[in-house]
């Protein structure tokens, strides 16, 4: 726990494609206004040279778009700090104490690897289901231990992040937060959801991205193949397929999901490091069995 002699150190990673000229400056201004911490910020241009970057903030230019998780890995390698904060460039920190509050919970409990604020739309106040990191999402104001994360706005203990080798860079987009959270839990850590700490983010749907259905399906298969004991893989994928058929509307979306599913089964998914059965039990007791 920090004894007050020194302030917590946070390395913040922000990705940009220079496609949010209105939101990005506001996001950066709210980040740089944070108090009670020592902050080191880097902006990673994913396939571009970052623009509208405030003075004094370092940048990284990537020649091609390597995807969100790998872009965040590259950014994490460029910042210093005992904690890492990953921040979407269209989000907004409404008070100057958000990062200090997230860090304080981590400092109070060394068994936590990450803390998750409540994400809410700035106009409606709505917190989307996918932003609540647990199965039962009807009450987004309920705090507690969580087993996954909404990766766009999350604080992670640096030592734990390095211990599990960071985000799964090959995922490009979608489900990278589940993969990271499961690996952290498999090392004995936990996550915590702090709904009293609010971050603003527009309530958009991920299907606005053209590759959503294909990558969502592919990465769900990769996630199961990489992280689950073999007995749980068919259970997990059967549950996912059932839910997908129930929720998905439109033949083109179903075809893209099927193509992604087959891609996930055929292509190499990276190193297989299945979680232990003890971790399966811990995740189940925490309210989210990894079969779902």
Do the beta carbons of residue 118 and residue 198 sit within 8 Å?
A: yes
Residue 225 inside a domain? The answer is yes
Domain finish residue from 175, 204, 233: 204
Q: Which two tokens stand for residue 212?
A: 């959503």
For residue 114, pLDDT over 50 is answered with: yes
How confident is the model at residue 1, as a pLDDT? 41
Q: State the pTM of this model.
A: 0.94
Residue 83 inside a domain? The answer is yes
Residues 116 and 156 in one domain: yes
Residues 193 and 94 in one domain: yes
Determine the Cα–Cα distance for residues 252 and 229; give it in Å rounded to an integer.
32
Q: Which two tokens stand for residue 276?
A: 């232990």
How confident is the model at residue 14, as a pLDDT? 98
Residues 76 and 193 in one domain: yes
Q: Which residues in 73-162 belong to E strands, given as ranges?
A: 83-87, 112-120, 144-146, 153-157
Residues 221 and 248 in one domain: yes
Residues 259 and 187 in one domain: no
What's the domain range around 156?
Answer: 9-204
Residues 102 and 56 in one domain: yes
For residue 3, pLDDT over 60 is answered with: no
Determine the Cα–Cα distance for residues 178 and 191; give it in Å rounded to an integer.
11
What CATH number is given to the structural domain containing 71? 3.90.550.10
Mean pLDDT of 180-206: 94
In this predicted model, what pLDDT tens digit does every residue of 129-173 receive, in sequence order?
989 998 888 899 999 999 999 999 999 999 999 999 999 999 999
Residues 107 and 152 in one domain: yes
How confident is the model at residue 252, as a pLDDT? 87
Domain finish residue from 143, 170, 204: 204
Q: Which residues in the chain belong to E strands, given as ranges?
A: 9-16, 38-45, 58-61, 83-87, 112-120, 144-146, 153-157, 190-200
Residues 25 and 116 in one domain: yes
For residue 208, pLDDT over 60 is answered with: no
Dihedral of CA 17/21/25/31: which sign?
negative
């Amino acid at each position: 726990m920090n004894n007050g002699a020194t302030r917590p150190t946070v390395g913040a990673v922000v990705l940009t494609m220079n496609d949010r000229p209105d939101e990005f400056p506001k996001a950066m201004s709210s980040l740089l206004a944070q108090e009670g911490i020592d902050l080191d910020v880097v902006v990673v241009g994913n396939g571009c040279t970052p623009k509208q970057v405030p003075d004094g903030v370092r940048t990284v230019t990537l020649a091609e778009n390597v995807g969100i998780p790998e872009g965040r890995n590259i950014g994490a390698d460029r910042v210093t700090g005992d904690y890492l904060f990953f921040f979407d460039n269209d989000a907004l920190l409404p008070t100057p104490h958000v990062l200090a509050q997230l860090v304080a919970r981590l400092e109070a409990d060394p068994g936590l690897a990450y803390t998750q604020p409540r994400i809410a739309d700035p106009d409606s106040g709505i917190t989307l289901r996918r932003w609540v990191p647990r199965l039962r999402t009807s009450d987004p104001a309920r705090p507690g231990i969580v087993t996954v994360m909404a990766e766009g706005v999350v604080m992670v203990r640096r030592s734990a992040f390095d211990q599990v080798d960071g985000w799964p860079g090959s995922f490009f987009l979608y489900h990278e937060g589940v993969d990271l959270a499961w690996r952290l839990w498999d090392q004995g850590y936990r996550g915590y959801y702090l709904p009293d700490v609010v971050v603003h983010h527009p309530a958009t749907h991920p299907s606005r991205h053209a590759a959503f259905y294909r990558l969502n399906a592919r990465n769900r298969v990769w996630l199961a193949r990489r992280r689950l004991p073999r007995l749980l893989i068919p259970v997990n994928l059967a549950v996912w397929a059932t839910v997908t058929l129930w929720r998905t509307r439109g033949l083109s979306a179903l075809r893209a999901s099927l193509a992604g599913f087959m891609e996930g089964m055929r292509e190499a998914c990276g190193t297989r490091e299945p979680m232990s059965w003890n971790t399966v039990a811990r995740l189940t007791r925490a309210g989210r069995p990894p079969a779902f």
